Structure 1
Amino acid sequence: MTDRDLPPMNALRAFEAVARLRSVTRAAAELHVTHGAVSRQLRLLDEALGRSLFVRQGRGLALTDVGEQLHEGAGAAFEQLRESWASLRQRSAQAPFVLGCSGSLLARWVIPRLDRLGRDLPELRLHLSAQEPPLMPEPGKLDAVLQLAAPPATSNWQVEVLAPERIGPVVSPRYAGWPRLQDQPASRLLEEPLLHTTSRPQAWPDWMRCMGLPAPPAGTGPGFPHLYHLLEAAIAGLGVAIAPAPLVSEDLASGRLLAPWGFRATTAAWLLATPSRLPDPRASALAAWLRDELAGG
C-alpha cells in the first residue's frame, strides 16, 4: 500500500464502528454483518500496518496508540460523512419530486387523482412533466417516469412494476353504429371502423389475438397521434377505440363510454422507473400509492 492509498473501505468502516462502540459484537450488529466478518476486516488493517489497533482489556477492547491515531482521523471523517448524508437527505426530501409521463397519461389518469394524492402523501412535493415516449428518468431532470410499457432490460433503471396493463374496446352510446353492435360478439368489431393511435398500432391486433380473432385489416379507422385524442374521438362517437382500463374508468362509470367486450392483459405493465442511484424514499412511497390506486380501479 503506497502513501497515496486508502485502507480498504469495508475494513475502515468496521474499525470505526468497533473503535466507537468498543465491541466487535455491537459493531457487527450495527453493520448487519457477522462477528467473524468484522474480525477479518480488523485483521486486514493490522496486517497492512504491521501493528495492532486493539488490545484486549478485560472483556472488552482498548485502542492501542496506533489505533487511537487512526480512530481520531477515521471517526472525524465518518462523522462528517454522516452529517453530509443527513443534510443531503433532508434537502432531497424538501426538493420537488419531478415525475414524467406521457401527456395522455397525465391528462386522463394522473391529473384527476392529484387531489387525492396530495391528501395521502402531503410530504411529496410533486411536479409533473409531460414527456413523449421513449421515456427515461434523467438525474437532475426527472426523478421518475410513469409509463405503460414492457419492463426495460437495463441496469440503468430501478423499475417498480405497479400493475399489469389491461386493454379493451370502448365505444360511446352516441356512436351511430352502437345499435348494430349492442349484444353482439367481439367478432362483429371486425366490420367497424376501429380508432387507433399511430404510436401503438399493435393494440388492436394484440387484443384480437387474446380473443381468438384474426387481426383487423390495417387502416380500418382513423388514427390519432395520442391516446388522449383517441379517447376524445371515441367519446364524440366517431368509432370504437381501444384503451387501457384505468384510463377510461371514469368514462365507464359516467356512461360516456361502454366496454361490452371486456379488457385483456397484455405483455406490458404500469411501471414507475427511477435512475439507478441511491434509493429515494419518496419514489417508494409514490410507487405504493400508485399500486393501491391501480388496484382499486
Structure 2
Amino acid sequence: MSTVRDLPPLNALRAFEATARLGSASRAAEELHVTHGAVSRHLRTLEEALGQPLFARQGRGLALTPAGEQLRDGARDAFEQLRDAWARVARGQADAPFVLGCPGSLLARWMIPRLERLKQDLPTLKLHLSAQEAPFDPALTGVDAALLLSEPPWPGDWRVHELAPECIGPVLSPRYPGAAQLQQPEQLLGEALLHTASRPQAWPQWAALAGLEPGQLRYGQGFDHLYYLLEAAVAGLGVAIAPAQLVADDLASGRLLAPWGFRVTSAQWILAMPRRASSAQAEALADWLRTALA
C-alpha cells in the first residue's frame, strides 16, 4: 500500500531536478540524453501524484511554483549527496583525509603551531591542510571545509560555522626606531605603514574605529600576503596591521608589540563547508577551532 512518504520514481525526480536547475525541459532532456516527451511525462507523473503543479509557464521558459521550489531544494541536496557518496566510493576514498583549506598566512601563523594540540584533542580526525590564496569558490572545490577570515554575506551554498569575531590592530617590533615612544593612535599618521594587497581595507577600517581619518594614513612597503607583512614587522621594517590571533604568539614572546590595541571588525573567523555536506568531523573541528580561537 502506498504512503505519502513513498518516493516517486527516481527517473522522474532526475527529470524534475534537471528541469528546475536548467529552467527548461528541452535542456533537461539534452543533459539526460532522453526525449523532450520523456521529460514532460516524468513531470506530469510528479504533478499528478502531488495533485498540484510544479511549474508555471513564463515566456518561453518555466518558473517554479512554491511547491516546485520546495521539491527543488530537497531534490538538489539529495542528488548532490548521492553524487558525493558515489564519487567517494568509486575512488575508494570513503576513508580519505578531511581536507581543510585556508589562506597561507592563517596556515603558517595560526594553524600549524596548534597542530600537535589538535591531534591530541581530536585523534580520530585525519586532517590534510591545503593552502589556498585565491578566493574560495561557492562550491569549495577541492576541500571538505575552509577556515578563513571573511565578512558576511557568505555564499548561499556554504554552511558556515562562526568561530570568533575578527580583532585587528597595529603591531611593530621593539627594534623599530622610536618604538618606545609610539603610544597614541595619532602618532601612526606620521609613520610609513606596512600593508598587504590581500587586506587593503584593514588599515582604513582600524583607523576609522580608532577615531582617525583614514585618508591621512601614509603607506610604505606593500606585500602580497599577510605572512610576509608580519615577517617584515618582526624584522623591524615598519608598523603592520594584523588580526590579534595571528600575532598572539609573537606578542607573548615579545617579538612584536601592540601599543594601540585591537578593534573588533565586522569580519568573522569561520569554518565554511558545502551546504549539502553533513560531517561529524566538521562539527567536531568547528567546536575545537571555536575554543582555540577564544
TM-score under structure 2 length normalisation: 0.68
Which ranges of 4 or more aligned residues in structure 1 deviate by more than 6 Å?
none
Give the drift of 1:136: 3.5
CA contact (8 A) 1:137 1:143 kept: no
Match of 2:198 in 1: 199
Task: Name the residue aligned to 1:76.
Answer: none
* Counterpart residue number, 1:237: 236
| Paired residues for 1:1-297 under 5 Å | 10-11=5-6, 94-136=95-137, 138=139, 141-181=142-182, 184-217=183-216, 220-295=219-294
What SS class does the counterpart of residue 195 from structure 1 fall into? strand
SS in 2 for 1:194: strand
Paired residue type of 1:165: E
1:179 to partner: Cα distance: 3.4
Q: Which moved more, 1:121-130 or 1:217-226?
A: 217-226
CA offset digits 1:176-224 (Å, max 9, x no partner): 131331xx31111111111110121111110010011111546521111
Number of the residue aligned with 1:41: none
Measured at CA, do residues 130 and 257 of structure 1 come closer, stay the same or move farther in structure 2, by a change above 3 Å? same
Q: Quote the Cα distance in structure 1 between the aligned partners of 2:181 and 2:94.
A: 56
Q: Look up the SS of the partner of 2:220 in the other structure.
A: coil
CA distance in 2, matches of 1:248, 1:238: 16
SS of equivalent to 1:213: coil
Change in CA separation of 1:140 and 1:194 when aligned onto 2, cut-off 3 Å: closer
CA–CA distance in 1 between the matches of 2:226 and 2:291? 23
Distance, in Å, in 1 between the alignment partners of 2:186 and 2:270 is 31
Contact 1:101–1:135 (8 Å) recurs in 2:
no
Give the stretch that moved more between structures: 245-254 or 275-284: 275-284
Q: Aligned pairs, how many?
A: 217
CA contact (8 A) 2:140 2:146 kept: no
Q: CA RMSD of the aligned region, Å?
A: 2.7
Q: Report the CA distance between 1:139 and its aligned residue.
A: 6.4
Identical aligned pairs, as a percentage?
61
Q: Distance in 1 between matches of 2:211 and 2:141?
A: 46
- Kindly indicate whether the alpha-carbon contact (under 8 Å) linking 1:168 and 1:244 is maintained by their aligned counterparts in 2: yes
Change (3 A) 1:232 1:11: same
Residues in 2 aligned to 1:152 and 1:98: alpha-carbon distance in whole angstroms? 24
Letter in 2 for 1:143: D
Name the CA distance, whole Å, in 2 between partners of 1:217 and 1:294.
33
Shift of 1:133: 3.3
Residue 247 of structure 1 deviates from its aligned partner by 0.2
Instruction: State the secondary structure of the residue aligned to 2:251.
Output: helix
Distance 1:109 1:269 in 2: 15
Contact 1:207 1:264 in 2 (8 A): yes
For the Cα contact (< 8 Å) 2:138–2:157, is it kept in 1? no
Distance 2:94 2:152 in 1: 27
Aligned partners of 2:172 and 2:240 also within 8 Å: yes
Alignment check: 8 A CA contact 2:104 2:132 kept: yes
Preserved CA contact (<8 Å) 1:192 1:240: yes
Quote the Cα distance in structure 2 between the aligned partners of 1:250 and 1:135: 27
Taking structure 1 as the reference length, the TM-score comes to 0.67
SS at match of 1:127: strand
**SS state at 2:273 partner:** strand
Cα separation, 2, equivalents of 1:134 and 1:140: 11
**Structure 2 gaps, min length 5:** 9-48, 50-81
Larger Rg: 1
